[in-house]
Amino acid sequence: MENKRYDLMHQHLLMTTGELLHSTPFSKLKVKEICDAAEVNRNTFYRHFEDKYILLEELLQASVSSMYTSLDIVQFKAHPFETIKDFHFDGTIEVLEYQLQDRSFEDLFYKLICKALSAVTTDQDLLWLIGNLYVVQLWNTNQEHPYDLREDYATLDRIVIEKKFPTT
């Protein structure tokens, strides 16, 4: 019974956080807000998650694992950023689009998406691609005028495929 109760609370915290991410940028979301919305105390939260980053990682890992089973690997290899842009994460693309406007979430998202994808495959070409996606994202983050995933995915795909950064 204790394991079932623990699992239910764990899922409750994940779902509550997912709901909060509809309206609160991840960088501004506090553990206290999660606890208040879930109607639990902080000790309960910390029995389940070390911090909000571990919680986000688990949310993304679950989404990536379920998405991977239906992922068109050929499409992903040919157009990785477009495929990421089109992820539907159990119907929460609006949340993803909202959160990707938060620069710290965006950086964390790409790191975690690469980690999650590399956990579900041993395809050497796919793993190299995942690493290249992360490198391009790191490069993009440091640009004075970074490319936007929602609008510039074709440019980002070209950078990954050609393995060449633009000179301007």
Confirm if 79 and 157 have CB atoms less than 8 A apart. yes
CA-to-CA separations, 65 to 25, 37, 60, 168, in angstroms, rounded: 24, 27, 8, 37
Which of 161, 146, 72, 145 has its CA nearest to residue 106?
Answer: 146
Q: Whole-prediction pTM value? A: 0.69
Ramachandran sector of residue 122 (left: φ over 0; alpha: ψ -120 to 50; beta: rest): alpha
User: In 3-state terms, what secondary structure has residue 79?
Assistant: coil
Can you give the length of the chain in residues?
A: 168
**Whole-angstrom Cα distance, residue 75 to residue 85?**
12
What pLDDT is attached to residue 90?
47
User: Which CATH number does 2-162 carry?
Assistant: 1.10.357.10
Domain boundaries of the chain, sorted by first residue: 2-162
What pLDDT is attached to residue 29?
96
What pLDDT is attached to residue 55?
94
What pLDDT is attached to residue 93?
58
**pLDDT values of the chain reduced to their tens digit, one per residue, 168 residues:** 679 999 999 999 999 998 999 899 999 999 999 999 999 999 999 999 999 999 998 888 777 777 777 778 888 889 988 887 776 544 455 677 678 778 788 778 877 777 777 777 788 888 888 889 888 988 988 889 988 877 899 999 999 999 999 986
What pLDDT is attached to residue 40?
98
